[in-house]
Structure 1
Amino acid sequence: MTPEGRCALELLKSLSADQEAHYVTTTQLSIYERRLARLYRDWSRHRLNSVLALLEGTNKPLQIPAAGIVVALLVNRSTSRDRALIRFAADPERSVINKAFFSPVQAFADVLSPNRRRSDISEQLISGWMLYEARRRIGTAIVIDEGRDNEHDSIWIEADSEALVVDLVARDLVRGHRTRVGPDLFVEAFDRLVHELRRASRALAGFGLAHERPRDTQRLRQLFDHQLRRHIEAST
Structure 2
Amino acid sequence: MKLENSQGSLETSFQNTIATIQFGHPASNSFPRQLLDRLTTEINELSRNENVSVIILKSEGDKTFCSGASFDELLQVQNEEQGTEFFSGFAHLLNAMRNCNKLIIGRVQGKAVGGGVGIISACDYVFATHQSDVKLSELAIGIGPFVIEPAVSRKIGKTAMSEMTLAGHEWKPAEWAFQKGLFSVLCDASSLDENVESFAQKLSSYNPEALFEMKKIIWEGTETWESLLFERAAITGKLVLSDFTKSALLQFKK
TM range (shorter): under 0.3
More strand by share: 2
Whose helix fraction is larger, Structure 1's or Structure 2's?
Answer: 1
TM-score where L is the length of structure 2 = 0.25
Structure number with bigger Rg:
1
TM-score, length of structure 1 as denominator length: 0.26
